[in-house]
Amino acid sequence: MLTFLTGGARSGKSSLAVRMAAASGLPVVFLATARPEGDDEWHTRLGRHRAERPQEWTTVEEPVELAAAVAAADPGAALIVDCLTLWVANVLDAGLDDGDVEAAATKAAAAAAARPAPTFVVSNEVGSSIVPVDPGVRRYRDVLGRVNAVVAEAADRAYLTVAGRVLPLLGPDDVVGG
């Protein structure tokens, strides 16, 4: 079962993914997409996140090859992918064009949906604000929006987190009829 969790920064989506994976009763693989390079605050933040995870969980750090990392995860373990937001930034920085990013996301979503154990994919919702002035930021926002839609389409369940609260997201067929 693939569950997609989206929302703003610090909305509770990652915490919810952790709680849901822990509640599964299965071993857990945490797939982190953050790159370890950066400033001191970034290193402190990543260290805090690593320390918060239960020691018995397996952590895989893969900033670019998302589909391969999802496919390689223990099929009997719950999988948390945290997060698409950083993954999109990483693959854009690596030079992928928009179509290639969407194709890679489609492949990763299919691998996640095919897993026998539950998978929880986390991503920020960045399209709810003003249109950015900078073309690079607009591109990032647009690509992440399409990636989020690809994963939500493949998901069995999708939720929006706001201020620590959770709203289920309906599919278009649930609204229009199908």
| Two structure tokens written together for 9 | 């920064």
Q: What is the mean pLDDT of residues 22-39?
A: 91
Torsion sign, CA atoms 54, 18, 9, 67: positive
User: Model pTM?
Assistant: 0.93
Is residue 172 pLDDT above 90, yes or no?
no
With a CB cutoff of 8 Å and minimum separation 6, the contacts of 62 are 31, 32, 33, 68, 69
Residue 178 has pLDDT above 70, yes or no: no
When pLDDT is cut at 50, 70 and 90, the band that residue 35 belongs to is confident
With a pLDDT cut of 70, the percent of the chain lying above it is 99
Mean pLDDT of 155-165: 96
Comparing 47 with 159, the larger pLDDT belongs to 159
**What is the enclosing helix (H) or strand (E) of 80?**
strand 78-82
Looking at the predicted structure, is the pLDDT value of residue 144 above 80?
yes
* Residues 45-77: tens digit of each pLDDT: 777 777 778 889 999 999 999 999 999 999 999
Higher pLDDT, 132 or 24: 24
| Residue positions annotated with a catalytic role | 49
User: What is the full DSSP assignment across 138-168?
Assistant: HHHHHHHHHHHHHHHHH-SEEEEEETTEEEE
pLDDT tens-digit map of 84-125: 999 999 999 999 999 999 999 999 999 999 999 999 999 999
Q: What is the mean pLDDT of the chain?
A: 93
- List, in sequence order, the alpha helices (H) in the chain: 13-23, 40-52, 66-72, 84-93, 98-114, 135-154, 172-176
